[in-house]
Amino acid sequence: MGYLKQMKELYGNIRITDYSYDLPVERIAKYPLPERDRSRLLVWNGRFITDRVFSDLPDLADPEHLLVFNNTRVIRARLRFRKETGAVIEVFCLEPHLPVDFASNLSSCCTVEWKCLIGNLKRWKHGTLEAEFVCSGRSCHLRAEKIDSEGDSFIVRFTWDAGDLSFAEVLESMGHMPIPPYLGRDDEESDAATYQTLYARHDGSVAAPTAGLHFTPALLGRLHEKGIEKAEITLHVSAGTFRPVKSELICDHMMHTEHFFVSRETLRRLRGRKITAVGTTTVRTLESLYWLGLSSAAGRWPAEGIPFVSQWEPYETGDGMEADDALDRLLEVMDHRGVEVLEAKTDIIIVPGYRFRVVGGMITNFHQPRSTLLLLVAAFAGNAWRKLYDHALTAGYRFLSYGDSMLLMPQVEDLFFIFGNDTEV
């Protein structure tokens, strides 16, 4: 039986229309709250729903769980060029093409190439775009040239005349924050701070890991005082996180590729622990680690290059090992290669029916209807996902990137012993 036929037989009954809901436009939070941790927090332990605020998290988190954060940093990935005709062309940088490594590309001077989306493409049929920008008080020029196409995206070569400026500095000087299109507004200067987690450290994302936007220094300090341990991974969030599912069947949807990095120390700390992931990007990374360990043990890693988890790999491959064994395998490979950080890519799609191997709890915002992120939540919460969303809509929660969030801890039965008002699901 062929791969596609197997997928359709296994997941043909998963229709995206079954994972939709009515989201009134006025419920989409266009701006964050003035205080990050005053956002609302829906808490679910697999049986009860309780309404809290995010600053309550230190009293709710299970001390036995390791909190894992995505420390990626959002870059100013939208570049705007105005032609002599007055037409504005937006070039949205998705991922590095040359050099392909994020750090090397962003630190490069004079010229780089990126895979990009082009806004107002019909107005840029040929030729070179040019824009003037100011950096450190001096005037500089950036040029953009299309050199190839790749599906609905293009490879764009950027060159600039200030040889001592890195591309990261170019983006910081003239780029715009890539806030989600569903906010229905242009980015503002405030978004440079609010659309960034406080612990963001590694440049590369074109969308924020939004579950992390609720944390403040004081809240992180209180978690530490409560003995809640934390660890970090890096997954550079791609624009595919905004891509709606247009196909009727889930198996016909093509997922986006995302690069991630996990240190040897984090891998060691994951072993033998209960894990709560902060955000769906962290969930994708942690679950991908299991499949990387499994594929390495089976001898399926490439001889050269970056290992990769394909979209349907979890559904084609038997388990084969425990989670800790998979992590041990990754540590062995890192020892053999003499590296301190594991770099990999993932296309993984997590849909209802998926069994989580690493993640036992999750903090996540409320996601768009008909999205792969909603599918991931439905896979984790089961049929309760709709009741969770219905409750949030009825109770006045704010939705999407700048909205409120959920703490999903289905295996922590005693989570509500201090609560008075809870709803059984």
CATH code for the domain of 234? 3.40.1780.10
The number of C-alpha atoms within 13 Å of 303 and in the hemisphere containing its C-beta is 0
Tokens in use for 188?
């503002």
Tokens in use for 226?
């409560």
CA angle 74, 195, 162 (to 5 degrees): 45
Q: Given pLDDT bands bounded at 50, 70 and 90, which one contains residue 303?
A: confident
The residue range of the domain holding 120 is 77-176
Assign residue 231 a region (left: φ > 0; alpha: ψ between -120 and 50; beta: otherwise).
beta
Tell me 28's DSSP state. B
Q: Given pLDDT bands bounded at 50, 70 and 90, which one contains residue 3?
A: low
Q: Are 297 and 269 in a shared domain?
A: yes
What's the whole-number mean pLDDT along residues 64-90?
Answer: 96
In a domain, 188, yes or no: no
Summary count for the chain: helices (H), strands (E): 12, 19
In sequence order, the 6+-apart residues with CB closer than 8 A to the CB of 220 are 198, 199, 230
Size (the chain), residues: 425
Q: Are 266 and 367 in a shared domain?
A: yes
Is the sign of the CA dihedral 162, 166, 170, 173 positive or negative?
negative
CB 209 within 8 A of CB 70: yes
Q: Are 61 and 101 in a shared domain?
A: no
Q: Are 338 and 247 in a shared domain?
A: yes
Q: Can you tell me the distance from the alpha carbon of 414 to that of 223, in angstroms, rounded to the nearest whole number? A: 19
CB 323 within 8 A of CB 358: yes
Query: Which of 2-6, 14-18, 349-353, 361-365 is predicted least confidently?
Result: 2-6
Per DSSP, the residues of 324-386 read HHHHHHHHHHHHHHT-SEEEEEE-----TTPPPSS--EEEEE---TT-HHHHHHHHHHGGGHH
According to the model, what pLDDT value does residue 116 have? 96
According to the model, what pLDDT value does residue 231 have? 98
In a domain, 84, yes or no: yes
Q: Can you tell me the distance from the alpha carbon of 65 to that of 222, in angstroms, rounded to the nearest whole number? A: 15
Tokens in use for 304?
């050269």
**Which residue pairs from 312-318 have beta carbons closer than 8 angstroms and sit at least 24 positions apart in sequence?**
312/3, 312/7, 312/251, 312/349, 313/348, 314/287, 314/348, 314/350, 314/354, 315/7, 315/10, 315/11, 315/354, 316/3, 316/6, 317/291
Q: Which residue shows structure tokens 């036992």?
A: 360
Which amino acid, residue 33? Answer: L
Q: Given pLDDT bands bounded at 50, 70 and 90, which one contains residue 413?
A: low
In a domain, 185, yes or no: no
Residue that terminates a domain, selected from 147, 176, 205:
176
In a domain, 337, yes or no: yes
In a domain, 45, yes or no: yes
Has residue 79 got a pLDDT over 80? yes
In sequence order, the 6+-apart residues with CB closer than 8 A to the CB of 297 are 320, 321, 326, 329
Q: Are 226 and 342 in a shared domain?
A: yes
CB 372 within 8 A of CB 405: no
Q: Can you tell me the distance from the alpha carbon of 318 to that of 313, in angstroms, rounded to the nearest whole number? A: 9
Q: Are 94 and 57 in a shared domain?
A: no
Has residue 240 got a pLDDT over 90? no
Domains of the chain: total:
2
Bridge partners for 28 per DSSP: 399
According to the model, what pLDDT value does residue 419 have? 44
In a domain, 401, yes or no: yes
Q: Are 69 and 84 in a shared domain?
A: no
Residue that terminates a domain, selected from 145, 176, 207:
176
Tokens in use for 199?
């612990």
What's the whole-number mean pLDDT along residues 27-40?
Answer: 98
CB 166 within 8 A of CB 106: yes
The terminus-to-terminus CA distance of the chain in angstroms comes to 40
In a domain, 49, yes or no: yes
Q: What percent of the chain has pLDDT over 70?
A: 94
Q: Supply φ then ψ for residue 355, to 5 degrees.
A: -105, 120
Q: Are 202 and 313 in a shared domain?
A: yes
Q: Can you tell me the distance from the alpha carbon of 16 to that of 369, in angstroms, rounded to the nearest whole number? A: 9
Q: Which residue shows structure tokens 């705007």?
A: 80
Q: Are 172 and 201 in a shared domain?
A: no
Q: Are 221 and 356 in a shared domain?
A: yes
According to the model, what pLDDT value does residue 1 have? 47
Tokens in use for 154?
């293009």
Q: Are 257 and 386 in a shared domain?
A: yes
Run of H or E including 103: helix 102-107
Tokens in use for 140?
């500089």
Q: Given pLDDT bands bounded at 50, 70 and 90, which one contains residue 256?
A: confident
Has residue 235 got a pLDDT over 50? yes
Has residue 402 got a pLDDT over 80? yes
Tokens in use for 251?
């198996």
What's the whole-number mean pLDDT along residues 299-308?
Answer: 89
Is the sign of the CA dihedral 171, 175, 179, 182 positive or negative?
negative
Has residue 30 got a pLDDT over 70? yes
What's the whole-number mean pLDDT along residues 13-18?
Answer: 89
Whole-model pTM? 0.94
Within a 10 A sphere around the Cβ of 235, how many other Cβ atoms?
Answer: 29
Q: Are 402 and 288 in a shared domain?
A: yes
In a domain, 183, yes or no: no
What's the whole-number mean pLDDT along residues 217-227?
Answer: 96
